[in-house]
């Protein structure tokens, strides 16, 4: 009987959140009595399908108070760009190549418990997974001003899931390409793997409207009621 696969979560929290503004990055803002990052962390730490959690932090926040939990691994210092942070977190894991790597943005505090499970289960039939939501509004090509058929598009979220060896392969290729001038770096790990390992099997799972991103100060008021309920569950 083969070794049971583990799922290792990486919470990316090294960004500065320029659109949010202020002297404190949004993931460390106190919202309804807790740092924003603690909400998603609690969900991952309490999820039975997640076996370890690594948080990637800015260098000047390495002493930030994280929950004490048996699944918590030592935090990792983030890199200059998002993919640099992911590469550093992967290097800090001693996981089997077939294990699952689940990457989540700390700025999505209300990640549903069920969505994490869906992503983990989808990795049994795929190499990479992302949640996606249908787009409700009409889309327009800003250059040509033609309306685009939104039926062919969806908005992707995190957590995104990967077979460890596929993500490692894609990140190694990205590092090899890193010396190229004017290299356009994809904005998320799902896109990186799709571009650099196109033969890998990718699937979508249904995203969740609750799993929205905390981007602007007004989001604190808009999401406050949900976060207040979440903090008392």
Domains identified in the chain and CATH numbers: 7-232 (3.90.550.10)
> Digits of tens for pLDDT over the chain (233 positions)?
446 789 999 999 998 765 555 678 889 988 888 999 999 999 999 999 999 999 999 999 999 999 999 999 999 999 998 999 999 999 999 777 789 999 999 999 999 999 999 999 999 999 999 999 999 888 998 998 999 888 889 999 999 999 999 999 999 999 888 755 566 777 899 999 999 999 999 999 999 999 999 877 776 667 766 776 665 44
Q: Quote the CA–CA distance of 18 and 196 in Å, as a whole number.
A: 29
Token pair 């404190």 is at which residue?
Answer: 24
CA nearest neighbour of 7 among 54, 75, 40, 39: 54
Q: Please report the sign of the dihedral spanned by the C-alpha atoms of residue 178, residue 76, residue 208, residue 20.
A: negative
* Range 144-181 burial, b when 16+ CB lie within 10 A, else e: eeeeeeeeeebebbbbbbbbbbbbbbbbeebeeeeeee
| Planar angle of CA 105, 111, 114, nearest 5 degrees | 135
For residue 51, what pLDDT is reported? Answer: 96
Is residue 226 a contact partner of residue 110, using CB atoms and an 8 Å limit?
Answer: yes
Helix (H) / strand (E) containing 134 = strand 128-134
DSSP-based three-state secondary structure for 213: coil
Give the model's pLDDT for residue 32.
85
Dihedral Cα 150, 213, 190, 94, nearest 10 deg: -160
Q: What's the rounded Cα separation, in Å, for the pair 12 and 218?
A: 22
Asked whether the whole model's pTM tops 0.85, one would answer yes
What's residue 176's pLDDT? 86
């Amino acid at each position: 009987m083969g070794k049971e696969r583990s799922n290792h979560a990486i919470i990316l929290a090294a960004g500065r959140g320029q659109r949010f503004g202020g002297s404190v990055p949004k993931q460390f803002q106190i919202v309804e009595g807790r740092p924003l990052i603690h909400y998603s962390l609690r969900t991952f730490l309490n999820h039975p399908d997640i076996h370890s959690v690594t948080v990637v932090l800015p260098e000047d926040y390495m002493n930030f108070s994280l929950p004490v939990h048996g699944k918590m691994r030592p935090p990792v210092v983030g890199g200059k760009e998002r993919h640099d942070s992911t590469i550093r977190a992967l290097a800090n894991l001693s996981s089997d190549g077939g294990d699952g790597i689940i990457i989540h943005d700390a700025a999505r505090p209300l990640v549903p418990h069920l969505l994490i499970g869906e992503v983990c289960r989808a990795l049994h039939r795929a190499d990479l997974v992302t949640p996606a939501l249908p787009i409700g509004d009409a889309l327009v090509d800003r250059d040509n001003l033609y309306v685009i058929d939104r039926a062919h598009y969806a908005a992707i979220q995190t957590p995104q899931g990967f077979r460890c060896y596929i993500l490692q392969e894609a990140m190694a290729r990205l590092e090899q390409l890193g010396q190229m001038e004017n290299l356009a770096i994809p904005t998320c790990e799902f896109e990186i793997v799709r571009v650099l390992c196109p033969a890998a099997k990718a699937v979508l799972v249904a995203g969740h409207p609750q799993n929205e991103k905390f981007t602007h100060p007004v989001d604190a008021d808009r999401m406050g009621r949900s976060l207040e309920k979440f903090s008392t569950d």
